């Protein structure tokens, strides 16, 4: 089903991780990483005995390990039935998907399954306090975020465009700090220069982050002159970037859209949501980076996204976001 977003939708931001209280009787799906911002889960589990926590571990590009209490299962990420059965086994009044410690190829298939279900659904993201600067910064590597790029490949369960994108296809890279990733994707996609529409996170998680984005990507933006086509969306708001993508698509009816997931995770979330709603003319491009173990420091704000606010609006699902 296609629809237009008539007005921007906003993210609820909590300034203290302890302020979030998942609804009693809900299921909270999460994964952990070595980053400090994953430690909030221990606090929430201790404070929320009436919530079922489902821990997800990554086995490979195509399978995950799911742990609920002492029970553990393996589920294929390309199996819609397997992911649906995983959710069916949990009695719940709402589902939370915490994408903070989960890689794109894990949370995106889970999100697809969650979006097809009737109960209220929320996504949670914890912003880092800061990113680690590279010990040897270059023109395209200001931060030490990724070890390598595995290459562009579809996210599990997400098909690519039925036909090869034409020369008039629009390429919308969601920019982060890593200019090397943009250079890699430009080389792989080979878009026409005038069809490159970068999206930059403004405002950023912090005031200086948009400047770092421009610095990290300045060579590619200058060589392609794509800086002239830049659009802006709040770095922590998937609804804002969804709105920007929809506006660009509406300005070029009938043209195919390629979304480059190389920016913030909330921006990637907005792009995946858009792709789910517009599968016939949208392609999600992800380069599957191998992340540094300690790429961030500290814990900042908690972002709560109520997916029932996405159109078509469903009054029966528009549950008020829980708070303190």
Per-residue confidence (pLDDT) for residue 38, from 0 to 100: 67
Confidence of residue 95 (pLDDT cuts 50, 70, 90): very high
Q: Would the pLDDT of 324 be above 50?
A: no
Per-residue confidence (pLDDT) for residue 78, from 0 to 100: 83
Q: What's the CA dihedral at 165, 271, 286, 190 to 10 degrees?
A: 30
Average pLDDT of the chain is: 82
Strands (E) across the chain are located at: 12-14, 27-30, 52-58, 63-68, 71-76, 95-98, 121-131, 146-149, 170-174, 199-201, 231-233, 257-261, 282-285, 289-291, 296-306
Residue 99's closest CA among 70, 124, 131?
Answer: 124
The mean pLDDT of 270-284, rounded to a whole number, is: 92
Per-residue confidence (pLDDT) for residue 3, from 0 to 100: 42
Rounded Cα distance between 240 and 11, Å, is 9
Token pair listed for 273: 């949501």
Q: Would the pLDDT of 144 be above 50?
A: yes
Least confident of 12-26, 56-70, 213-227, 266-280: 56-70
Per-residue confidence (pLDDT) for residue 8, from 0 to 100: 59
Residue 7's closest CA among 239, 259, 204?
Answer: 239
Q: Which residue has the higher pLDDT, 298 or 188?
A: 188
Per-residue confidence (pLDDT) for residue 319, from 0 to 100: 36
What domains appear along the chain, each with residue ranges and CATH number? 12-131+297-309 (3.40.50), 146-291 (3.40.50)
Confidence of residue 147 (pLDDT cuts 50, 70, 90): low
pTM to 2 decimals?
0.88
Per-residue confidence (pLDDT) for residue 122, from 0 to 100: 94
Token pair listed for 155: 């996210």
Q: Which residue has the higher pLDDT, 110 or 289?
A: 110
Confidence of residue 77 (pLDDT cuts 50, 70, 90): confident
Residues 6+ apart with CB under 8 A from 88: none
Packing angle between helix 265-277 and helix 104-115, nearest 10 degrees? 40
Helices and strands, number each (H, E), in the chain: 7, 15
Q: Would the pLDDT of 317 be above 80?
A: no
Residues 6+ apart with CB under 8 A from 16: 302
The answer to whether residues 101 and 95 touch, using CB atoms and an 8 Å cutoff, is no
The mean pLDDT of 241-262, rounded to a whole number, is: 94
Share of the chain above pLDDT 70, in %: 80
Rounded Cα distance between 92 and 89, Å, is 9
């Amino acid at each position: 089903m296609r629809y237009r977003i008539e007005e921007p939708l906003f993210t609820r931001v909590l300034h203290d991780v302890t302020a979030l209280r998942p609804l009693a009787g809900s299921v909270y799906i999460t994964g952990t990483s070595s980053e400090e911002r994953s430690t909030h889960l221990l606090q929430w589990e201790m404070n929320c005995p009436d919530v079922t926590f489902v821990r997800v571990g990554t086995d490979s590009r195509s399978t995950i390990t799911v742990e609920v209490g002492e029970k553990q299962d393996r589920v294929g990420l390309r199996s819609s039935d397997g992911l649906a059965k995983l959710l069916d086994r949990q009695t719940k009044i709402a589902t939370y998907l915490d994408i903070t410690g989960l890689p794109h190829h894990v949370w995106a298939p889970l999100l697809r399954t969650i979006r097809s279900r009737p109960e209220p659904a929320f996504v949670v993201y914890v912003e880092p306090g800061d990113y680690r600067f590279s010990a040897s910064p270059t023109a395209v590597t200001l931060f030490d975020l990724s070890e390598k790029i595995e290459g562009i490949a579809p996210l599990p369960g997400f098909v690519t465009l039925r036909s090869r994108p034409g020369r008039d296809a629009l390429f919308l890279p969601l920019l982060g700090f890593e200019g090397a990733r943009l250079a890699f994707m430009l080389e792989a996609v080979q878009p026409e220069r005038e069809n490159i529409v970068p999206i930059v996170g403004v405002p950023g998680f912090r005031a200086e982050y948009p400047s770092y984005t421009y610095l990290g990507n300045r060579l590619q933006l200058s060589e392609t002159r794509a800086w002239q086509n830049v659009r802006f969306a709040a770095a922590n708001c998937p609804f804002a970037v969804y709105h920007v993508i929809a506006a660009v698509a509406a300005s070029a009816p009938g043209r195919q859209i390629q979304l480059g997931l190389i920016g913030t995770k909330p921006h990637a979330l907005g792009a995946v949501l858009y792709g789910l709603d517009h599968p016939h003319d949208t392609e999600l491009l992800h380069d599957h980076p191998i992340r540094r173990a300690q790429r961030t420091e500290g814990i900042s704000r908690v972002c709560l996204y109520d997916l029932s606010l996405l159109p078509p609006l469903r009054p029966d699902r528009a549950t008020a976001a829980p708070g303190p």
